[in-house]
Chains A and B, each alone.
Chain A
Amino acid sequence: MSDQKSPEPRHYDAERQGLSRRTFLATSGTAGVVAALDTRDLMAQGAAGNAADNAASQPLGAVPLTLRINGEEHRLQVDPRTTLLDCLRETVALTGTKKGCDHGQCGACTVHVNGRRVNSCLSLALTNEGDEITTIEGVGTPERLHPMQAAFLAHDAYQCGYCTSGQIMSAVALLKEPCGPDDADVKELMSGNICRCGAYPNIVAAIQQVRKEI
């Protein structure tokens, strides 16, 4: 065994500087954001690029895009291939929206676009210019939870929590959708959100409680 001191891991350094692991990752994710250019011309040439090209501060083939997210305007540069999900997580560093299957089969990436819930993994970011986008970060805060967030807490409507933001985004949208009164009706409208932990009974209970209260 060597008595030489091993170097501290990088994330530990970050935590000592007052950055949590999550903040550190989120901060790294914003490195690609650069100042906006004219956003009116959406005709843009995409390009695959190679590793060397991508090392530049502005990704090759990136096009300007302005998104309204949680009431705030974000001027961005994105590769045309970027999905709304990847844009939210990697470019804007809003990591509350989760990537599960990335193919529209699990619902973890659910966000609201103009008040309606969608799978952000199947929506190209460029098609969302001018839309009103709401993510879990825009639904409530730790100090002022949305009634649905409070109900999920009260009913223990999660285990690992990975699907939870998508479940809550769907549940909040469901409140304004045509939905019958029964648990079966809620289950049908929530079927686009998969929970591998199987917290379904508690999720349905949380939603039903909020539906009764409002």
Chain B
Amino acid sequence: MAEQKVFSKLGAALKKGDFILTGELEPEKTCDLSHLVEEAKEMAPYVIAANVTDSPLAILTINSLATSYIVQRDSGLECIWQLTTRDVNKLGIAGLIMGAQALGIKNILSLTGDHTNMGDMPESKPVFDLDSATLVKLVREMVDKGSINGKPIECPPKLHVGAAANANSDPMEAEVLKIGRKAAVGVEFIQTQVVYDLDRTIQFLEAIKKYKVPVLLGIFPMKSYAIAKGFDEFVPGVSVPPEILEKWKGIKSNIPDKKQQQDAYDQANFDFFKPFITELKRKKLLAGIHCMAVHYPRIFPKLSSIIKD
């Protein structure tokens, strides 16, 4: 693959090989983004960039491109615009990518997207004209060749494109081969689904090392027992280890003071993730960490201290 150009802080950090931290912002069903902008401001000193989700679980939220633009404009935090192939066809997606460039968006995360059947507008038509791999290819054609379907774009977009992977996926080989397809069409970084199992994560990272794509590992620090339990029960394919659930339950039951409880949760997250991240960092299998805990910006100083350690 040709030497990559750099268009963003994320692109620069990945090229330099820094061990980085990215965050995640989840817009809601609202046209007011002030809370999200505040969240972005709080995490901004600690992360290179933050993902902006595109109606996850197909539950309608304000559009992710508009949100990315407003967050960047009002908080200064660079965004990784999550773009699913669920809602727009190839023609529409190519137009959105040019629009993103005009709005100053510099990173895209290409996702297939949860099926409309899963969400709160199940009557919507699921589009899936492209999938996450064909979307990566489309972006790379637009950026590298300055064309779309072989036709020149007068002022082409200049942005980076990443994709997702799931270390928990079983059979793992199918997931590994799938990453191979995305690597073949020029994906520039991978962000993984949340992991808790260190051995399996190492096995997965070893298996995809050959594709030479920088990997940001997805972690989910849990703000409360209710969130930990909900995550364990409702996120398919991800189980929170029982010892974590026990510990979090203990914090909830034994510490009545709200502030002390918050501190205890934050410390428990630090205690769990520090050895986890340190071991992976030591093995040099990662480019960084992607923290998917939304609405929990106060955890970033602690996470950042682990990353920089």
Is the pairing of A and B real? no
Q: Could you tell me which B residues sit within 8 Å of A by CB distance?
A: none
Q: Could you tell me which A residues sit within 8 Å of B by CB distance?
A: none
